[in-house]
Structure 1
Amino acid sequence: MFAVSAVQACDAPEGQHDLVVAIRSAEPFTFTGPDGLPRGFAVDLWHSISTDIDKTTAFVNCDSIDAQEAALRRGSVDVVISPLTITAERMLTYDFSQQYLSSGLTLAVAQSGAIDFEVAINTISETVFQPTVARAIILFLLLNLVTAFLLRALMRSLPDGLDDHGEVGRFRASTAYMLEAVARTSGLKGVGDGFRTLLGKVFEMVMAVVGTALSAMILGVITSAFVGAIGENPPVSAQALPGMSIAVLRCSTAQEFLRQEVTEAAFRADEDSAEQEGLMARAAWLDCAAHQADNMRKVDAMPQDGLPGGFILTPTWKEAVEQLYQGKVEAVLGDWVALSYLSRRAPYDGQVSVQNSVYRNEPYGWAITRAGGNEELRRAIDSALIVRMRDTDWRKRIENTLGSGAIAPN
């Protein structure tokens, strides 16, 4: 039996059930569909695993990460399957399942139409110096040299001066007609005209074809690199984040990461300066505990303080990306998988780009309450997760839901 309860924070579920499983709006992992039922990658995975552990489930919606964690500590929910990063601090108050996915903290920014030449040059360098590409180029050049050597040797070995009535003469005459047809249809007419002998013309045409192929390959790499660099933005360092306008998911590890960066920026500022005081105030505002529980569903903007940039807290990743889409912030700091997924969805497709690098890795697991002694439940969930991750279709399952390339970069 599956039921969804629309709640403020995380209320008790309705109906008979063995387990209470909490979700929040966190596309593409967990969200509520148009029919009112839970949807997403983590929900599909839970449906599969719940058959192994033989438990009936009641789903409840929660307003925020903070609400889910409070429910875990109280024991009013058994499992949270919305994405939660496994951290030492969280493991002090509740358990985690086996890690099932690795994502990372990264930045989403508005896509521009300019070419980032640094990205293009890096792409060309990485492509050319990849071992497989380098071997292919070397092999191609070696074949080119061997072909030239063999043709040259053949030209020297054939007798000269035979008339067109001899065996060689008839062969040359028929070959000349075929060569002329090839030259006209392939656009090579005129190539080899500097040679008087037939083999000389063949040699020149073969070299022209090989050179054209090599040039086309090099031009293709360069073109692909520059086309791929259109709209790309150079990576933003973590030290630059405190001075930017950024939207971030409320009470997430991204918010805590931003708070730490702002705190470090305050220590780097001049002691007792207005900048240092402003940054310390920003760090205090970014503390999850500083916000009222009744604001969890609201978009909350930091008050103006006279410093560059500023921060906005949102209840979902989608609302954070919407702030970027509307031009209210410069960037969104958040989960690599979620931001990559949303950047491919309308209306953000072609308007939002996501950094290829991450500030730190984020291991995801399902949170399990310690209330009531759920060690047996944790072992059962771990066992079922491991079975599915060992399946050859595990990566395909991830990319079918989260999109191609949904495995986070290093």
Structure 2
Amino acid sequence: MALFLMAIVACVGTGAAAQTSPDLSLPADLSTKEISIGIKAAPPFAFKLQDGTWSGLSIDLWQKIAGRLKLRFRYVEVPTVQDQIDGVVSGKFDAAMAAITVTADREKAVDFTQPFFTTGLGIATPLNNQPSWRPVMRALTSFGFLQAVLALIVISVVVGVLIWMFERRHNDDFGGGVAKGLFSSMWWSTIAATQASTGDFGPRIVPGRVLAALWMMGSIIVIAVFTAGVTSVLTVTQMEGMVQGESDLAAVRVGAVQNSSTASYLDSTQIRHQDFATIQQGLDALRAGKVDALVHDKPLLGWLVGQNYATSLQVLDATFDQQQYAIALPLGSKLRKPLDVTLLQTMESDWWKQAVFQYLGEK
């Protein structure tokens, strides 16, 4: 009897284990087939070595997954992410990967695995080694600068009107009709604000002179604060450059890779941009001064700038518009479930942490 009960318990346990650990073996048609993987250069996630073999963070991850699932595969190189998506949709590729961003539009056309990397957009700008008149002009035409100038003008006009009201009946300098009197009083107010000599031209009665004294003393403070503010803006802008974050993109010349998720984001935020066929063309244009900022996936920007443009360009610390990279699959692909589970298992391992640190320096 005891042996019979033990046998029942063993069977139940085996059934439960089978339910919690689903069979992730590949279907027969995939286990014997050499599947095609659409790949594009996207260092440090995917790049070719001198011997023609592929390397990179995504490549290492895929080969780790393929090894666990005993997948036979071959890479098929294409020039753009859109070519990868189109290849998956048409059935040319059984999967596509490198640095493919998951977007709503792409999700309509293909299936994605679990994301394996979370990042965002970054901004590359020129190193500010050489002085430039463009930051100065931008500061002088900024809304804050115009506000300060307008405030100074308004105060000067108000003082001029008050002087005219006090002096028009007692001082011929401010008499002779409304238009002539107001013009003279405002002219005096402007001269007084700049601390220039007005000679004998000025208020003569007590209220007018009191207001004039207050205005001349106050104008010293107003102009000093105004000058300090303008100098600070010009100095900071010249030191830090025209672009310090996403909010500055609307006022500068922006570059992006055509037909990319970055270009779509810039369009959705109504930021005008010049499109380039490749990220390298965009970086060359940035270095040549044809654009003021280049927006792209931050890890890719950081890698390329560090490798080839370190003396002329920089990637800002700012990150925006969070994005996720995943493997693209045909709709309803039988690979999805095995890839998802194996992908998550791999990402939970110490191997993945070491791989990310190796390529990106991130822990």
TM-score with structure 1 setting the length = 0.51
Shift of the alpha carbon at 1:399?
Answer: 1.9
Q: 1:321 aligns with which of 255, 270, 283?
A: 283
- Closer, same or farther in 2 for the Cα pair 1:379/1:27, shift >3 Å? same
- Closer, same or farther in 2 for the Cα pair 1:231/1:47, shift >3 Å? farther
Match for residue 82 of structure 2?
A: 66
Checking the alignment, whether the CA contact within 8 Å between 1:114 and 1:232 is kept in structure 2 is: no
Q: Distance in 2 between matches of 1:234 and 1:385?
A: 42
Identity, % of aligned positions: 23
Shift of the alpha carbon at 1:111?
Answer: 1.2
Shift of the alpha carbon at 1:328?
Answer: 2.4
Q: Distance in 1 between matches of 2:321 and 2:267?
A: 15
Shift of the alpha carbon at 1:239?
Answer: 4.8
Q: Does 1:311 align with 2:327?
A: no
Match for residue 390 of structure 1?
A: 348
Q: 1:260 aligns with which of 258, 268, 278?
A: 268
Q: Does 1:377 align with 2:335?
A: yes
Match for residue 103 of structure 2?
A: 87
TM-score with structure 2 setting the length = 0.57
Q: Distance in 1 between matches of 2:351 and 2:126?
A: 34
Match for residue 338 of structure 1?
A: 300
Checking the alignment, whether the CA contact within 8 Å between 2:44 and 2:57 is kept in structure 1 is: yes
- The 5 Å alignment of 1:175-324 reads 233=241, 236-262=244-270, 311-315=274-278, 317-324=279-286
Q: Distance in 2 between matches of 1:378 and 1:395?
A: 23
One-letter amino acid matched to 2:128: S
Checking the alignment, whether the CA contact within 8 Å between 1:235 and 1:357 is kept in structure 2 is: no
One-letter amino acid matched to 1:104: G
Checking the alignment, whether the CA contact within 8 Å between 2:102 and 2:324 is kept in structure 1 is: yes
- The 5 Å alignment of 1:149-164 reads none
Q: Distance in 2 between matches of 1:231 and 1:397?
A: 36
Match for residue 302 of structure 1?
A: none
- Closer, same or farther in 2 for the Cα pair 1:40/1:318, shift >3 Å? farther
Checking the alignment, whether the CA contact within 8 Å between 1:111 and 1:232 is kept in structure 2 is: no
Q: Distance in 1 between matches of 2:275 and 2:269?
A: 16
One-letter amino acid matched to 1:320: G
One-letter amino acid matched to 2:98: S
Q: Distance in 2 between matches of 1:380 and 1:59?
A: 20
Match for residue 328 of structure 2?
A: 367
Checking the alignment, whether the CA contact within 8 Å between 2:102 and 2:323 is kept in structure 1 is: yes
Q: Does 1:358 align with 2:319?
A: yes
Match for residue 349 of structure 1?
A: 310
Shift of the alpha carbon at 1:235?
Answer: 5.2
Q: 2:46 aligns with which of 26, 30, 33?
A: 30
Q: Distance in 2 between matches of 1:329 and 1:73?
A: 35
Checking the alignment, whether the CA contact within 8 Å between 2:243 and 2:249 is kept in structure 1 is: no
Aligned length in residues: 226
1:128-184 Cα offsets, whole Å, 9 max, x none, are xxxxxxxxxxxxxxxxxxxxxxxxxxxxxxxxxxxxxxxxxxxxxxxxxxxxxxxxx
- Closer, same or farther in 2 for the Cα pair 1:74/1:350, shift >3 Å? same
Match for residue 110 of structure 1?
A: 126
Gaps of 5+ in 1: 1-15, 116-229, 266-281, 283-309
Which structure has greater helix proportion?
Answer: 2
One-letter amino acid matched to 1:359: F
Shift of the alpha carbon at 1:232?
Answer: 5.2
Shift of the alpha carbon at 1:114?
Answer: 8.4
Checking the alignment, whether the CA contact within 8 Å between 1:100 and 1:365 is kept in structure 2 is: yes
- What is the CA RMSD across the aligned residues, in angstroms? 2.5
Gaps of 5+ in 2: 1-31, 132-237
